[in-house]
């Protein structure tokens, strides 16, 4: 058995603590502007002070506070889009696999189409037509996620369907709905959990990219991708504005991916080939 | 083979129609295009005039018919920002994207193939570990941030390379690396895992028994077969390439389709965005179709399966 991945777990724990205790940990508000305190560097650079640990941005907002609240936004988006996108994928996967036939063929065509068409284009379209916001973002990222869940879960269900306990349930007179909900669903939960963990990184990068392109949560909400984007124009003078939030994204995504790999080997080694 | 191509053509057409329809109805049902186009101080008369000009006073199915009729003829409406047909804008930007995507893909293949093959041959050794770590990092790093950091390092700090816009060969280096990174990581992992599988197979043993040189066994017999999964997953890579192009062109102010998409979003230019998405769908479908045909040609199991 592989050892517990301590480093990734530590990074994830740090992020969760940052997100949950943001109001306590942050001395400053993430949105309060102050023209006198504009563009202060982090404390380890000359001219920085302990008052603003990671410096301030072009509006004088505290970068440390924005990072903390940004972690919060990231985790909220991760939770909601996995719930919506993963949930839709799970449902479609179970129904498609269990019912089979024409419905299955149709749904799997849809999955194929979703794989080849870049979801980011629909996400951008939604941001323009529905306006920027958390709802739009969740729908957009769910569009990106559902197909992968549906395809893998369907494969699992196809195998489960052949098992004796399913036939017995059918002989016993269970309705298809009941079989899917109480006999199939619990048996694909392991796979679902592994997929969800492996997709956390995908969601974080997608959220950051959409924020960067002006299609994420609207400013002044502190999101990491948005912070990278806002700091981009000042890369020559205030490098920390883009560097720090981007580094946070990379570290967190790396941690979730490594943790997901470990979880997969532990719970569902079959998924290795993906 | 003919039947296979016809079947794939039909599927491709269905996908394009599906995308166009979704785009059309999303635009009409979830927002008001008039509000997106007009400035805030527009009068009611302006509003009425625009509604009539766009045909928004007609029933929805009629609007859709007109839209479809025009789209089939290549008329995708007029861009609000550029005041010219969307098709014209799109086609004028397309070559720039191709100019950027081609070297990125070449870099990706040139790096990914040898790295993937050697990682599989020396499984668990130093090279495998190093390239594995790079792949994991490459997947975790957001493209746009990588681009900005490359600009910071090579343009701002060292002053070696230009930070953006099109120009001489030196202008291609940073954007091509940014766009290629994502592909390298994906390709490499894929080639490594399929090489591992193939190295175990019977025909490889057979080739060795026949006394073929190790070089021929690896680079001819194994690699050819290991490349098949890359073709299978080509569609997924294409989707990634589009996403990467939007982000990379935005970071480097590269005047291609990706940057155009970003501008359409920022300026809320709905007709432009709608047109770009439909044209992107057409392009993706055509490229995937070509790859599919190539795939069927390379691997007869697909044609007859």
In DSSP terms, B143 is beta-bridged to none
Distance, CA of B94 to CA of B78 (rounded, Å): 17
Helix (H, G, I), strand (E, B) or coil at A62: strand
CA distances for A47 relative to A40, A234, B62, B195, angstroms: 7, 17, 65, 54
Q: Report the pLDDT averaged over residues B117-144.
A: 85
* Inter-chain CB proximity B145 and A249 less than 8 Å: yes
Which of A19-28, A217-226, B249-258, B260-269 shows the lowest per-residue confidence on average (mean pLDDT)? A19-28
Is pLDDT at B142 greater than 50 in this prediction?
A: yes
Nearest-by-Cβ selection for A235 from B151, B250, B284: B151
Residues with pLDDT less than 50, chain A: 274
- Burial class, B159, CB count within 10 angstroms (exposed 0-12 / middle 13-18 / buried 19+): exposed
* Inter-chain CB proximity B145 and A250 less than 8 Å: yes
Distance, CA of A141 to CA of A143 (rounded, Å): 5
> How close A239 gets to chain B, by Cα (Å)?
8
Interface of B with A in 185-214 (CB under 8 A): 193
* Interchain CB contact of A229 with B (< 8 Å): yes
> How close A139 gets to chain B, by Cα (Å)?
13
Is pLDDT at B31 greater than 70 in this prediction?
A: no
Contacts of B288 in chain A (CB under 8 A): 116
Backbone angles phi, psi at B88, to 5 degrees: -65, -50
In DSSP terms, B85 is beta-bridged to B78
pLDDT at A274: 46
For A219, which DSSP code?
A: T
* Inter-chain CB proximity A113 and B18 less than 8 Å: yes
User: In degrees, to the nearest 5, what angle opens at C-alpha A254 toward C-alphas A250 and A256?
Assistant: 120
pLDDT at A48: 65
> How close B140 gets to chain A, by Cα (Å)?
5
Is pLDDT at B162 greater than 90 in this prediction?
A: no
Q: Report the pLDDT averaged over residues B202-229.
A: 82
Residue of chain B with shortest Cα separation from A244: B145
**In this predicted complex, what is the ipTM?**
0.83
* Inter-chain CB proximity B145 and A228 less than 8 Å: yes
State the Rg of chain B over Cα: 24
Nearest-by-Cβ selection for A120 from B145, B243, B270: B243
Contacts of B18 in chain A (CB under 8 A): 113
pLDDT at A119: 85
Contacts of B196 in chain A (CB under 8 A): none
Is pLDDT at B163 greater than 70 in this prediction?
A: yes
Residue of chain A with shortest Cα separation from B25: A129
pLDDT at B304: 65
Residue indicated by tokens 């940004």: A70
pLDDT at A87: 95
> How close A121 gets to chain B, by Cα (Å)?
6
Closest by CA to A73, choosing from A192, A218, A178, A175, is A218
Question: Which of B81, B135, B145, B178 to probe the A interface (max A CBs under 10 A)?
Answer: B145
pLDDT at A93: 94
* Inter-chain CB proximity A242 and B145 less than 8 Å: yes
User: In degrees, to the nearest 5, what angle opens at C-alpha B148 toward C-alphas B145 and B154?
Assistant: 135
Interface of B with A in 136-155 (CB under 8 A): 136-137, 139-145, 148-149, 151-152
* Inter-chain CB proximity A213 and B274 less than 8 Å: no
* Inter-chain CB proximity B266 and A242 less than 8 Å: no
Distance, CA of B83 to CA of B272 (rounded, Å): 10
Cβ-contact A198, A257 below 8 angstroms: yes
pLDDT at B33: 64
Assign B30 a pLDDT band (cuts: 50, 70, 90): low
State the Rg of chain A over Cα: 22
* Inter-chain CB proximity A130 and B31 less than 8 Å: yes
Helix (H, G, I), strand (E, B) or coil at A235: coil
Q: Report the pLDDT averaged over residues B223-231.
A: 81
Cβ-contact B180, B105 below 8 angstroms: yes
Question: Which of B11, B101, B140, B178 to probe the A interface (max A CBs under 10 A)?
Answer: B140
Q: Which residues contact B210 (CB under 8 A, 6 or more apart)?
A: none
Q: Token digits for B238? A: 């294409």
Backbone angles phi, psi at B85, to 5 degrees: -55, 140
Contacts of A121 in chain B (CB under 8 A): 242, 261, 276-277, 280
Stated length of chain B:
305
Q: Token digits for A22? A: 């943001």
* Inter-chain CB proximity A118 and B140 less than 8 Å: no
> Alpha helices of chain B — where are they, by DSSP H?
2-29, 33-37, 44-54, 60-72, 86-121, 126-140, 143-150, 170-199, 202-209, 214-216, 223-226, 228-232, 234-251, 257-266, 270-298, 300-304
Distance, CA of B191 to CA of B193 (rounded, Å): 6
Looking at every residue in chain B, the average pLDDT score rounds to: 83
List pLDDT tens digits, range B113-124. Answer: 888 888 888 887
* Interchain CB contact of B156 with A (< 8 Å): yes
* Inter-chain CB proximity B247 and A129 less than 8 Å: no
Q: Report the pLDDT averaged over residues B231-243.
A: 82
Q: Which residues contact B256 (CB under 8 A, 6 or more apart)?
A: B93, B94, B96, B97, B99, B100, B245, B249
CA distances for A156 relative to A97, A151, A188, A219, angstroms: 8, 9, 7, 42
In DSSP terms, A62 is beta-bridged to A56
Is pLDDT at B41 greater than 80 in this prediction?
A: no
> Alpha helices of chain A — where are they, by DSSP H?
6-20, 22-25, 63-81, 87-99, 101-116, 119-130, 134-161, 164-171, 176-178, 185-212, 224-232, 240-267
């Amino acid at each position: 058995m592989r050892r517990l991945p301590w480093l990734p777990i530590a990074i994830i724990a740090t992020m969760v603590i940052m997100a949950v205790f943001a109001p306590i940990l942050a001395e400053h508000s993430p949105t309060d502007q102050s023209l006198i305190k504009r563009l202060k560097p982090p404390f380890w650079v000359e001219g920085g002070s302990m008052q603003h640990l990671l410096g301030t941005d072009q509006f004088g907002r505290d970068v440390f506070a924005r990072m903390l609240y940004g972690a919060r936004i990231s985790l909220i988006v991760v939770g909601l889009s996995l719930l919506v996108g993963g949930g839709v994928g799970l449902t479609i996967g179970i129904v498609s696999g269990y019912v089979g036939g024409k419905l299955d063929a149709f749904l799997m065509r849809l999955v194929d189409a979703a794989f080849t068409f870049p979801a980011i284009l629909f996400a951008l379209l939604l941001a323009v037509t529905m306006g920027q916001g958390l709802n739009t973002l969740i729908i957009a990222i769910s569009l990106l996620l559902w197909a992968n869940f549906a395809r893998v879960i369907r494969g699992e269900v196809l195998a489960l369907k052949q098992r004796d306990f399913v036939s017995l349930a059918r002989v016993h007179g269970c309705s298809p709905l009941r079989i899917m909900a109480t006999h199939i669903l619990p048996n694909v939960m392991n796979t679902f959990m592994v997929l969800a963990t492996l997709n956390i990184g995908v969601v974080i990068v997608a959220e950051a990219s959409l924020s960067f392109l002006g299609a994420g949560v609207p400013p002044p909400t502190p999101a990491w991708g948005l912070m990278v984007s806002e700091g981009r124009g000042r890369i020559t003078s205030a490098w920390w504005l883009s560097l720090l939030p981007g580094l946070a994204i990379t570290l967190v995504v790396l941690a979730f991916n490594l943790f997901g790999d470990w979880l997969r080997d532990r719970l569902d080694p079959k998924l290795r080939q993906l | 083979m003919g039947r296979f191509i016809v079947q794939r053509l039909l599927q491709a057409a269905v996908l394009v129609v599906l995308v166009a329809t979704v785009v059309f109805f999303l635009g009409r049902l979830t927002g008001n295009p008039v509000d997106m186009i007009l400035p805030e101080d527009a009068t009611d008369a302006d509003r009425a005039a625009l509604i009539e000009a766009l045909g928004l006073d007609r029933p929805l199915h009629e609007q859709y018919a007109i839209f479809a009729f025009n789209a089939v003829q290549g008329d995708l409406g007029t861009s609000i920002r550029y005041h010219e047909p969307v098709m014209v804008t799109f086609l004028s930007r397309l070559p720039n994207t191709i100019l950027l995507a081609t070297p990125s893909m070449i870099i990706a293949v040139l790096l990914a193939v040898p790295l993937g093959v050697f990682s599989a041959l020396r499984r668990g050794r130093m090279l495998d570990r190093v390239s594995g770590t790079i792949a994991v990092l490459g997947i975790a790093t957001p493209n746009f941030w990588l681009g900005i950091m490359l600009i910071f390092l090579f343009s701002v700090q060292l002053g070696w390379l230009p930070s953006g816009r099109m120009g001489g060969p030196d202008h291609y280096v940073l954007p091509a690396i940014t766009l290629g990174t994502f592909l390298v990581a994906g390709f490499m992992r894929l080639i490594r895992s399929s090489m591992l599988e193939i190295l175990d197979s019977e025909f490889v043993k057979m080739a060795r028994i026949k006394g073929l040189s190790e070089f021929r066994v690896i680079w001819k017999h194994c690699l050819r077969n290991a490349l098949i999964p890359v073709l299978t997953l080509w569609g997924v890579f294409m989707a990634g390439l589009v996403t990467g192009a939007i982000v990379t062109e935005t970071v480097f102010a590269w005047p291609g389709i990706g940057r155009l998409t970003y501008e359409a979003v920022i300026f809320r230019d709905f007709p432009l965005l709608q047109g770009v998405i439909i044209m992107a769908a057409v392009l993706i479908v055509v490229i995937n179709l070509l790859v599919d045909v190539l795939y069927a040609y390379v691997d007869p199991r697909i044609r007859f399966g």
